């Protein structure tokens, strides 16, 4: 059971923090809610107290004998501020301690995670961006806000990420082996300052307006990599093919459909990436032609003409070639190989052919991997090392891979 401080800023998104609190407490964590005084205008103290089972105060004068403005931060395993308003970010960056929340932020030596929520103009203001950069430099995780409907008729970037995804991110932070007992929060973030590019999901190749060639990939493994990378301080972009999951908190999502769409998007995003992880299940072939109208039976029992196929470009090979030609040479590429009949020697040959630095060979089919919460794999590296990963959660598999990658980056 972890000790979590849930800070709540004065924004309309405070009502979503009630769901986040419920998820945290149902997972067995002890959660102390510390709202700002104005946050209680949106959600009252009785609600927070009833949901958390803990006292709720906003000032440093309640329970002085227990010295809460120091003890709460000192004893926390995680501080999660959601919503983190522009005002909270500014006061935290300035090191102010005028209320219980900002005092707890100053005394915390655990991971601190901010989930900003505000209008687009406030998020994009240079003052806010400066404050975010300052907090990140000090070792805090400040996730990118989501894009969508804001207060009133407005839409844009500044929406609080989905509470379930914030909960998953908090769990990733709490369970990550990168967080050691250290006096400096900055040492917790093994991917701080790095840009990560991840592919996820399964591509679709259209036959006609209603049919396609596809696969069973749901994108869960790729999104697990995204959450884990965000929890380690990375800036994350996900090229997602036909994924129907909630967006991972803090990640930029680029949506594509086909293998050629993904090929173009990955090559466009690759130059800025320090690490590329190719988890997507990409179609090897596509129909040469796409029918403009639905292909129908003619009532005679005659079959339609056979579908002629053409080979799709190999995205990992293209990314490796781009790295050789244009750099950076330090860029790390991780490929995935979904196999129904694993062959280690064949996997080594594929690793050499693809040109990636690591290849994650995972078993699929028969209810394995696709659409499940867990995965098992063997990770092959270009230096010849082999790392077996027994069946475990997809988040845990991602953590193993990130440990290998961060060692290589170091």
Catalytic residue set:
215
How far is residue 381's CA from residue 363's CA, in Å, rounded to a whole number? 18
- Tokens describing residue 58: 């906003």
Alpha-carbon span 209 to 354, nearest angstrom: 33
Strand extents, DSSP E, 152-224: 155-159, 195-201, 205-208, 211-213
Handedness of CA 211, 215, 220, 226 (dihedral sign): negative
Count of other CB atoms within 10 angstroms of residue 250: 27
Q: Is 174 in contact with 28 (CB distance < 8 Å)?
A: no
Contact of 196 with 277, CB cutoff 8 Å: yes
Q: Write out the two tokens for 328.
A: 């950076």
| DSSP secondary structure letter of residue 58 | S
Left, alpha or beta for 312 (phi > 0: left; psi -120 to 50: alpha)? beta
Q: Among residues 340, 347, 333, 343, which one has the least CA distance to residue 279?
A: 333
Q: Give Cα separations from 231 to 97, 112, 331 (angstroms).
A: 26, 10, 20
Max Cα-Cα span within the chain = 88
Residue 196 tokens read as 């990560």
Strands of the sheet with 386-393, listed across from one edge: 251-256, 235-241, 195-201, 275-278, 332-339, 358-363, 374-381, 386-393
Do the beta carbons of residue 356 and residue 337 sit within 8 Å? no
Copy the structure tokens of residue 5: 């401080």
Task: Give the pairing of strands 78-84 and 3-8.
Answer: parallel
| Residue the block writes with tokens 């804001």 | 150
The sign of the dihedral angle between the CA atoms of 242, 246, 247, 248 is: negative
């Amino acid at each position: 059971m972890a000790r979590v401080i849930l800070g709540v800023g004065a924004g309309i998104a405070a009502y979503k923090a009630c769901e986040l609190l419920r998820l945290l407490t149902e997972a067995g964590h002890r959660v102390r809610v510390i709202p700002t005084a104005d946050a209680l205008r949106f959600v009252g103290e009785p609600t927070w107290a009833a949901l958390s089972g803990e006292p709720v105060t906003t000032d440093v004068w309640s329970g002085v004998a227990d010295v809460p403005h120091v003890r709460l931060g000192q004893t926390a395993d995680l501080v999660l501020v959601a919503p983190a308003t522009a005002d909270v970010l500014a006061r935290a960056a300035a090191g102010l301690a005028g209320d219980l929340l900002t005092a707890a932020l100053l005394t915390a030596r655990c991971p601190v995670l901010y989930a900003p929520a505000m209008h687009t103009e406030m998020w994009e203001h240079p003052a806010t961006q400066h404050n975010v950069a300052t907090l990140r430099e000090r070792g805090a995780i400040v996730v990118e806000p989501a894009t969508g409907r804001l207060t009133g008729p407005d839409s844009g970037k500044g929406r609080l990420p989905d509470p379930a995804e914030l909960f998953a991110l908090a769990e990733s932070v709490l369970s990550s082996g990168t967080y050691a007992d250290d006096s400096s929060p900055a040492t917790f973030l093994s991917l701080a300052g790095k840009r990560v590019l991840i592919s996820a999901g399964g591509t679709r190749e259209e036959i006609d307006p209603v049919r396609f060639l596809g696969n069973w990939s749901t994108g869960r493994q790729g999104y697990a990599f995204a959450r884990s990378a965000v929890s380690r301080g990375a800036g994350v972009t996900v090229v997602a093919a036909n994924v129907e999951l909630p967006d991972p908190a803090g990640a930029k999502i680029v949506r594509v459909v086909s293998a050629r769409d993904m090929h173009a998007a990955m090559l466009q995003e690759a130059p800025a990436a320090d690490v590329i992880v190719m988890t997507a299940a990409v179609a090897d072939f596509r129909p040469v032609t796409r029918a403009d109208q639905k292909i129908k039976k003619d009532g005679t029992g005659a079959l339609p003409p056979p579908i002629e196929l053409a080979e799709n470009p190999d995205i990992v090979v293209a990314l490796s070639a781009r790295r050789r030609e244009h750099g950076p040479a330090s860029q790390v590429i991780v490929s995935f190989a979904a196999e129904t009949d694993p062959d280690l020697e064949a996997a080594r040959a594929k690793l050499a052919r693809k040109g990636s630095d690591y290849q994650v060979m995972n078993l699929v089919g028969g209810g394995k991997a696709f659409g499940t919460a867990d995965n098992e794999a063997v990770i092959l590296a270009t230096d010849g090392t082999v790392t077996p990963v027994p069946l475990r959660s997809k988040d845990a598999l991602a953590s193993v891979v990130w440990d290998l990658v961060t060692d290589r980056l170091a």
